[in-house]
Structures are given as C-alpha cells and as structure tokens.
A and B are shown apart, each in its own frame.
Chain A
C-alpha cells in the first residue's frame, strides 16, 4: 500500500514538473514581458509544491498511525478484561493481538483477542486508505495551486532556491539531531549507571569485573566497576598502534612526495589507501593467525613466555591499519607546501634532507598532526582487532605481551548475550561509551582546530 502511494506521488511530482514547465513555456510565448524565471524553475516549483506537503503528510501520518490505532484498540477492549492489568501485561496483550492480526496464531486465543485483532486489521486498512486518498488529494491540490501562480512575473527561481536551501538545512539538521539523540541516550543511561555505581569508583577503581549475577542462582563474582584497567588497556594498545603507524606513515608520505617519481607515486598511493579499506575483521584474523603466533615463537626462541593474546599483536596490526590515515593526510599536507618553499630552501644550498626536516615538515606539521590525531581516535575506537587479538580480560598491566582489553571491546561484551537494561553490567557499557565519546570528541576538536590553523597558513 505504502509503496504504491509513494509511486503515485513520485509520478504526480513528475507530472507536476512537466505541467509547470509546459505552462511556463506557454505563458512565456504569449506574454509581452520577459519571464522572470526559466521554465525549468517553474517546473521545479510545481514539483516542490506537489511533493513536499504530501511527503510531510505521509511522514507524520506514519509516525502517528501506530500509536493512535493502539490507543483506539486499548479503548475498545472490554473494560472487565483490561482493568486490573498492569502495564506489562497490557503490552503483552496488545502484542498478542497484533501477532494474531498478522496471522501468527499460536495455540488458541480467546474470542476477545480474535475480535480485537479483526478490529485492528480493519482500522489499519481504513487508515491506509485514508492516507492514500488524502496524500493524493494534497498533491493534486498542490498541482492546481502552483499551476495557477505561474506567470511572467512570478519569481519561481527565488522560491525554488529557498526550498532547496530549506531541504539542505533539513538534511544537516537530521545529522545534528541524530548526534544529539546519541549523546542524550548515552547521558541518560550513564546517569542511571552512576546511580548504582559511584562516579569515583568508576573513574578510579582498579578492578573491572562486570560479571554480576543477572539470574538467580548464577555463579559469578560480585561485580566490580573500576574502569582504570580498561582505560589503561585502551591507551596501551592505542599507543602501540601509534608508535607503529606514525613513523611508517610519515616516512611513507615523505618518500612519496619528495623522492618517488610521479609514476611510482600514482601507483603506490592508491595501493596504500587500500589498506584503509580492508575490513577490520580481516586485520583481526591477520593478528590472531599470523602476528600473534610469530611474536610467540620469537619470544619462545628468546626464552620468554608470551601469551597468545597480547596487546602487542593487536596494537601492531592496528598500527598497520592506521598507516594510510597518517600517510595520506601527511602526504596531502606535505604536497600542499608551495613549491616556492622548496625552491627557496634549495637555492640557499640546502640538501634534500635539510629541506624536508627544516622547511617541509614544520610547514606541514599542522596537517600531519591532524592525520595523527585522526588515526589516534580511530585507534581508540577500534574493536574488532582487539577482541580477536588482545582478549577481553581486563588486567591492569603495561606489559605489551600480556592480554589487555579496551573500552570498545568491553562495551561489546557487556551488551552481547544475556542483557537486562537496568542491570549495572549493561548500564556500564553506556558509561564507557560516554567516556569514549568524550575523549574522541576532544581529540577531534583538537584535530579540527589544528587543521583550521593550517588552512590559514599560506593565504
């Protein structure tokens, strides 16, 4: 039903455009003043007046149809059946009615339910048809109204531009509102968590054992929510990753911009960027199946016992994943240092190395920093490689050859499996998420600031 409606509306929009276009041409041919706007703008004007109100109507209708029908449904249930039910039971009843209405009948529902399901279906059908008729009517009214306004003096172009900018604002609002929604839900759930566990314990505790019993009789530890080991693990792995990625990425960028021939560069640069496109699961495999055993063997050969899961394996592989972030942004930054800077330096008798270290890198530093910070926020947010290669056990250690865990990995393990949304174990995930969000936000703001400063440099 809905898909037909949308199809019809799209056709009407097309028709509106064609009609508007034709009418504008006709008006232009007969009128003795020059048309203010091109015929195309008149067409778009009609199309906008057809499309926007009808689609807004459909959207609002769909938003409210469900709740309104539910509310009617509850109202229509026999009093004696509903009274005395608490909210949970009522929800259960409603969902039973809905599943019967959808044709999934389990067992032997009683007559009241069957009847209600019937009513539910009928009302929905009525609502669908009402929407169809109403939306088409609105669209047709739009065509009629807009057609009337087409004249030589009518400023269709300005109106269309206004509508376009309105649409763009709406799109950016959607993005912003989504962010706000995410932050709000994080904050709300985190506050609930901090009701149960104090902020001080969460931020300073040294013990992270979130496995508290969620069913009676389950045998687990008592539960401890000191997040320091998790933060420490995150920092350790991110640090290892950055120590691997920064020099390699930077040197690769310097090589590509200053030493490589342009032919070589045009082949290598995209190849390097492919690294960024490999799914992290694949990196995880690589870490677990190749890097970790190799590290282990090397360790054994030298007489160390190295755990199969280690921060080092995860961090090193993550570093490889981050190379293209750093190399690509540094490459752009170095390449955008004007040629005149290089000429100035060479003409003074500087060698290539001096030119790179004393002129190019300092000039490109803000851009390079931007790349490094972007990579750092990726490192902090990375999950898959860590789950696979570093483990999920939170231990407070700075030995890179022991298993550690990170914030994102903990969020994932806390939210998978048996979950109950008012349990501190689950809520802890939101608190971790909040910390993660805030720290990457700060990193991103710093990166943005630096990049902005960089933009002003050569103007």
Chain B
C-alpha cells in the first residue's frame, strides 16, 4: 500500500501533462512478484505491475517476451495449459485471483478476453454472443437476451454490417468482422476488465480503426489491457504502457513518457525499432 501510494505521487510529479483521469483512477489490477513457469522454463520474472481502471494499458515488447503469458495470468487462462505454474500475487479489485475461495468461472465472467486470432464458435452470430449471457444467467427472458445481443453488436460496431444475417454462422464473417464479433461476445457478459491479445494483428487498417474506436469507447466504462506489436497503436489507444523484455518488466509509465523519454536503453531501442 505504501509502495503504491508512492508510485502515485511520483507519477503526479513526473507527468503533470498526462490527462489527470488516467492517473487518478484506482488500480483495477495489482500484481506483485508474478513469475510464470512452463515446465522448467521460466517465462516471466517477478512482475510488479499495476493497471488503472477506466483506462487502456498497452503491453509491448518483442515476440516471446511474455506479454500473452502475463495477460493470461489475469483471468487464469494459464490454468488450461498443462505444466504451467504461476507464482506471486495478482489482485483484481483487491481480491487475489489464486485465492482458493475464488471461483475461477466467476473471475472469468468479470475478466473478458479477446484472442489474437478470432475464434468465433461454429454457431450463428446470435448464438455466439448469447453464449456468455446464457451460461451466466444474465438474461431473464428471450427479449432480454435479444437486447443484450443487439447492444453488444452495437457497441462492437458490427450491428449495421450483420443485422440481417444475425442467425447465420459467425464463421462466415470476414476476419475483421469475426474479431469484432469476438469483442461483442466478450462484452456481452459485462466484464469489468477486458484483455485483448493483439486484437488487430489479423485486421486491415479500416477494421483496425474500427476496433480502436471501440476501445476508446469501451475505456469509459471498462479497464482494458491490450497487447500490441504496433507502436502507433499503443500510442494511439493507451494511456499507460508497459514494456516487457525476455520475461522482465523493463519499464512502465504513462504512454506519453514511454514514447517520448523512456528511461531504459532497451525501451528506447525497442520503440525506435532498433531491435525486436
């Protein structure tokens, strides 16, 4: 707690120019000394990272540095990988995600995830989105459910494109539409925290712009963590940026700072494109 408040004041000192709301928001996620092992191989080393609410945090770093691994710690998706072991403390809303009393199903209901590759279920667009609300019992009636589906599509900016084929297979959409379908599917369960693992890596510039617009919109109500390989994207959409390298969190700070005067040489080399 002491640590955290110190970080706060430091930030206040350092970046008077950063929009005040990003700094003032309480932390949605705090992680302390998080290490991840795949079998004997250690993929993350003692990560301490705090993620503010109602803002976008970008995770950048060269391929294989552990960005996806860190992201998967936050909704415990690493549980599904055999031989993967996570140590350290991760708190979402002040609650330890590894607490034995915590129901992982409930955690994942609060922490949505969008994957790098769009992965709609081989069901209709409607069913894809209705899946989450159904399993969490969010809709009391059929019309409730329809409303959730429509509003999720609307928020994901997909409604106008698919409104007359909502009962056709989601797999029949284009890649960009599929990705926005997955985003709609994730927000349909009303998560408080949305994890996006390179959501635009398979998209063209137009679809990317739409997704970024959506992220901007979503950050008003949600906490968003996005992994990206595009520096421009990180600069465009995020308020804070964390740079990972070889499993270590090298530097974290407001996006403006990281991109204009990084303190670490490695960060500087990476964002100026000298390696990675």
Residues of chain A touching chain B, judged by Cβ–Cβ distance below 8 Å, are: 261-262, 338, 340-351, 354, 358-359, 362-363, 457-458
Contacts and interface: CB of A to CB of B under 8 A. Distances in A.
B108 A347 contact: yes
A358 B80 contact: no
A348 B119 contact: no
A362 B122 CA distance: 9
Given A341-B119, A343-B119, A348 B82 contact: no
B266 interface: no
A347 B113 contact: yes
18 contacts: A340-B119, A343-B115, A344-B119, A344-B120, A344-B182, A344-B185, A347-B112, A348-B112, A349-B105, A349-B106, A349-B107, A349-B108, A349-B136, A349-B189, A350-B105, A358-B135, A362-B123, A457-B171
B122 A363 contact: yes
A362 B117 CA distance: 21
B123 A348 contact: no
B169 to A, nearest CB: 10
A298 to B, nearest CB: 42
Interface in B49-98: 75, 77, 80, 82
A348 B113 CA distance: 7
B186 interface: yes
A354 B119 contact: no
Main secondary structure of the interface of B (DSSP, over half): helix
Contacts of B106: 349
B271 to A, nearest CB: 30
Given A262-B82, A349-B189, 13 more contacts: A341-B122, A345-B121, A347-B77, A347-B112, A349-B107, A349-B135, A350-B131, A350-B135, A359-B131, A362-B122, A457-B122, A457-B171, A458-B122
Contacts of B119: 338, 340-341, 343-344
A345 B122 contact: no
A351 B77 contact: no
B174 to A, nearest CB: 15
B181 to A, nearest CB: 11
Contacts of A340: 115, 117, 119
A348 B185 contact: yes
B132 interface: yes
A340 B185 CA distance: 14
Interface of B: 75, 77, 80, 82, 105-109, 112-113, 115, 117, 119-123, 131-132, 135-136, 171, 182, 185-186, 189
Contacts of A362: 122-123
Among B82, B107, B120, B122, chain A packs the most CB atoms within 10 A around the CB of: B122
B109 A349 contact: yes
Contacts of A342: 80
Contacts of B131: 345, 348, 350, 358-359
Contacts, number: 68
A346 B82 contact: no
Contacts of B107: 349
A342 B119 CA distance: 10
Contacts of A343: 77, 80, 115, 119
A347 B121 CA distance: 13
B41 to A, nearest CB: 18
Contact of A349 (B80, B117, B123, B132): B132
A456 to B, nearest CB: 10
Nearest to A261: B82
Nearest to B109: A349
A383 B32 CA distance: 67
B151 to A, nearest CB: 17
Nearest to A354: B135
A363 B135 CA distance: 18
Nearest to B75: A347
A457 B120 CA distance: 12
Among A349, A350, A354, chain B packs the most CB atoms within 10 A around the CB of: A349
A141 to B, nearest CB: 61
Contact of B121 (A344, A346, A354): A344
A84 B105 CA distance: 94
Among B131, B171, B186, chain A packs the most CB atoms within 10 A around the CB of: B131
B172 to A, nearest CB: 12
B171 to A, nearest CB: 8
A261 B115 CA distance: 26
A284 B230 CA distance: 67
Contacts of B80: 342-343, 346
A347 to B, nearest CB: 4
A363 B105 CA distance: 22
A211 B115 CA distance: 70
Nearest to A459: B171
A363 B106 CA distance: 25
Contact of A348 (B117, B122, B135, B171): B135
Nearest to A358: B131
A346 to B, nearest CB: 6
A450 to B, nearest CB: 15
A349 B75 CA distance: 9
